Amino acid sequence: MRLPRGTGGRRWWPWLTVWTVVGLGIRLASVYGRPNRVPGGDPGYNWGVANLLVAGKGFIDPLSYNYHNQHVVLQTAGWPPGWSFVLAIPIFFGFHSFFAARIWSCIIGAGAIVVCGLAGREIGGRRVGLIAAFLLAIYPNVWMNDELASSEALSPLIVALILWTAYRFWRHPTKWNVVALGASIGFAALCRDELALLIVLIALPLILLAKSVTWRKRIVLLVLAGASAGILVFPWVGYNFSRFDKPVYISDGLGPTLASANCGITYSGAYEGYWSLLCMKGVVYKYTPTADESVNYANAEKVGMKYIRAHEGELPAVTLARIGRGFGFFHPLQQVRLDSFVETRPYRWALVGLGMYYVFLALSIGGTIVLRRRRIPSFPLWAVGVDVLSVFVLSFGQTRYRITFEVSLVLMSAVQIEWFWSKLFPARRHSKTTTGDEALQPPELADPVPVGA
């Protein structure tokens, strides 16, 4: 496949740099457009944890420590540690302000553009990579998280990294590639604990379906994938076991989530399938202020589970509402307004993001068909959507929880757009031209690979 001028060989990296700079510019402009944002909610909490971490206090609750300067030390694992570790980097070098954290978040977002381009190139060639990088650079549903400095700002980078390493392993099922895949999933789990499921949804089937690989080697690859993920995750789990009264693995935020998502307000009416601050406050008031966080959050989980058991008949409808709300098919305009009010997202850009999301979703169907015809598996891309689905079922419908799947949508849309491009502007074939795109299927996987989507 001969690429259009400007995308082949030596010019690929310059073009990727252009889209990265464009994406960084959009993100920085969004920050400077609202320079006086006050740290609050989830972003403010993680930023507070990062500041205390650099100060040598460990992972402790910033609200309790900073409340009226009482310096109450309570261990916390309300969120996975990855984003707090990342936010701690500029703080370590002296940039303590929340504004600096937002700028750093934009730089992380720009890095995601590069990795998304690499993932796209691995999936469908250089042109696909550049299209994917461009789409991720301009997509409001992605860059709005960077402006907020929310933990979702890291999600595009880690998911693009997983998909990049996944398709590298699919093309070349070597030990080093499977170690890279397992490590990327392990790192992702420390940033978003639900992404640990991708070791089963992506790594496991890729290893089992690898062609020209003996079963003995597949077992070795499985062990390497699990070990490389576990090496990153297990130290944090051990640390949590040493500091909480009740078992805590990656995070203990499930309790408050269940309490806020399972109550009368979220089971019927306008906010069906969403969460309620009023319900959460009712549980928080029952907390013992100086008690171990794992104990308080376990009590919150009991409250949520008690409500679920008492309203099991309503749960199927509520679950569908959560899924519909999260994937943009149940009260989508109301959800945009809620995102604007609760998370202070810019309303008009959120509307643009919703429209682009629908377009990407439609293009992704065509992209899946193109990949299937090229004998390239699409299930790693859709597996991220299954992972997000599980989040909606267990918690509630929320636009920003969809961010990991939107990286997959961008990549599949890029495949479809590249197909349109090739039909509109067919290029002459040159037998001696080598672009790196000809080998859409590796020699060791000459047989069709079952496609999961």
pLDDT of amino acid 127: 96
Q: Burial letters for 386-413: b for 16+ Cβ neighbours within 10 Å, e otherwise?
A: bbbbebbbebbbbbbbbbbbbbbbbbbb
pLDDT at 197 over 60: yes
The pLDDT score that the predictor gives to residue 71 is 85
Q: Mind listing the pLDDT tens digit for each residue in 88-124?
A: 999 999 999 999 999 999 999 999 999 999 999 999 9
Quote the pLDDT of residue 288: 73
Instruction: Please report whether residue 430 resides in a domain.
Output: no
Query: How far is residue 139 CA from its own chain's centroid?
Result: 15
DSSP annotation of 77 reads -
pLDDT digits (tens, 9 = 90+) for 228-277: 999 999 999 999 999 999 999 999 999 999 999 999 999 999 999 999 98
Q: What mean pLDDT is reported for the chain? A: 91
Report, as an integer, the average pLDDT of 14-22: 97
Q: Are 76 and 256 in contact (CB under 8 A)?
A: no
Q: Is residue 444 part of a domain?
A: no
User: What phi and psi, each to the nearest 5 degrees, are found at residue 299?
Assistant: -65, -40
pLDDT digits (tens, 9 = 90+) for 199-222: 999 999 999 999 889 999 999 999
pTM of the model: 0.91
pLDDT at position 131 over 80 = yes
pLDDT digits (tens, 9 = 90+) for 314-331: 999 999 999 999 999 999
pLDDT of 439 strictly over 50? no
233 against 447, higher pLDDT: 233
Residue 406 counted as domain residue = yes
Task: Kindly report which listed range (50-54, 229-233, 292-296) carries the lowest average pLDDT score.
Answer: 292-296
Residue 420, pLDDT above cutoff 60: yes
- Residue 9's pLDDT is what? 64
Residue 417 pLDDT > 70, yes or no? yes
Domain count along the chain: 1
pLDDT over 90 at 291, yes or no: no
Q: Give 362-376 pLDDT, tens digit per residue.
A: 999 999 999 999 999
Is the residue at 191 inside a domain?
Answer: yes
Give the range of the structural domain holding residue 250, as residue numbers without chain letter.
9-425
CB 207 within 8 A of CB 178: yes
Q: Is 75 helix (H, G, I), strand (E, B) or coil?
A: strand
- Label residue 68 by pLDDT band (50, 70, 90): low
* Interval 38-59 mean pLDDT: 94
Residue 166, in any domain of the structure: yes
Residue 442 lies in a domain: no
> Higher model confidence: residue 112 or residue 65?
112
pLDDT at 51 over 60: yes
| CB neighbour class for 144 (10 Å; exposed up to 12, middle 13-18, buried from 19) | buried
Q: Where are the alpha helices (DSSP H) in 55-174?
A: 62-66, 82-92, 98-124, 126-138, 140-148, 155-171
Closest CA to 406 of 163, 180, 202, 79: 163
Rounded percentage of the chain residues whose pLDDT exceeds 70 = 91
* Domain assignment present for 361: yes
Per-residue pLDDT at 434 exceeds 70: no
Residue type, 345: R
Q: Is the pLDDT of residue 431 over 70?
A: no
